[in-house]
Structure 1
Amino acid sequence: MRENILKLPAHLRRQRIVSAEQVAMAMAGIYECTYLSQFNHQYDPETSNIISSYFRVILHAVKEEGLQTIRVGTDYNGKLSSAEFYADDIWPWALNELSYPDSWYGIDHPPTQNVIEPETSACWGDFSGKDTALLMIASLATALEKTGGKYTRSNKLNKSAVISTAIKAVNDYGNGTDLTDRALRRLIDNALAQYLPKLEE
């Protein structure tokens, strides 16, 4: 199983609901503040920029990628400005973002060789049973959507919730996985487009 690189202190681990500000700061290694305004931006401008970058990534994921939220807030222009999440939904997402093999997401030293490891890619070659596997992926994703709740968003499949549940199940009951949210999203997209195209309309 992948090491949890988010070194969350006890007070954060015990929280059931977490704000986007707290997640952004935790992704940058700052755990002692609850609000961005509590961080000394002038004393440590570099870390402040990192926090701001992660905060924008989180809000973008909420707006454009269907990241599951409990509630969101907007500024006076109607622009998304805050969000709150269930801890079980947001921390696996944050861990995947930090683990993504790209320096933007926190890897200090990029790999010396550009090697794409097979287990981190959702691009499948041809193999026996591939069509059946894709059909099962599409069918199970649809079955989750029909249960409603967090698996739907604007009357459509909430792929982020499906991915989060799948990763949590593999980590809790299997051997863990290094697949990123993006890789699994591509896999689900391909399965749905090939076998259940009407669902995407």
Structure 2
Amino acid sequence: MARKSDTKRQHILSVAAQAFQELGLERTTMSEICARVGGSKATLYNYFSSKEELFFEVMNRSTEAEFEAVYSAVDPSTEDIASSLRNFGERLLGILYSPRVRANRHLAISASGHTQLGRVVYERGVQRGQKLVSDFLREAMGLGKLRQADPVVATKHLYSLLEAELIDRFLFQLLGEVSEEEIKLIADRAIDVFMAAYGFGGGK
């Protein structure tokens, strides 16, 4: 039964992805998706509570494996915590500033004022990722790899530092392609500052 349910869910996601691609977020309705999938609207809502949730899952399906790889790469027990954070930073920025994720982030931001998409992305994407990093930092602090501090605040600082050189141009859609070399340098500078604040011996 579970396999059948998952197969149905994946079918809905595939159909919805095609509808969103053809019609866009605004013009796609749950009724339209239901008509394409077949069956009742109640069944559709059993899988996804709203169009915004469904759209998020469509977006998330294409990048979930990449994000999992990013967050699973950090090891709080490593001797070189700065190197682990640099690796994390490079990987995270590489995904966040890839063309596909940039487009999805812009869409979520632009739709936030009049739909629930922004809230869904924030709660299921942003907060989820930040909790994983917060747990990592908390453990690293407990192991004496970083100084004791509020890991939630430290996580906010880490994310802000990593995006500091790109976020303004991104928000105003003035950002061109970001090369791997640029991302590496940005991550290096961000982690230097982070380690100066939260480490015991400065940056590199």
Quick check: TM above 0.5? no
**Which of the pair is proportionally richer in strand?**
1
TM-score (ref. length: structure 2): 0.31
Which protein is bigger by CA-based radius of gyration?
Answer: 2
TM-score (ref. length: structure 1): 0.32
**Which of the pair is proportionally richer in helix?**
2
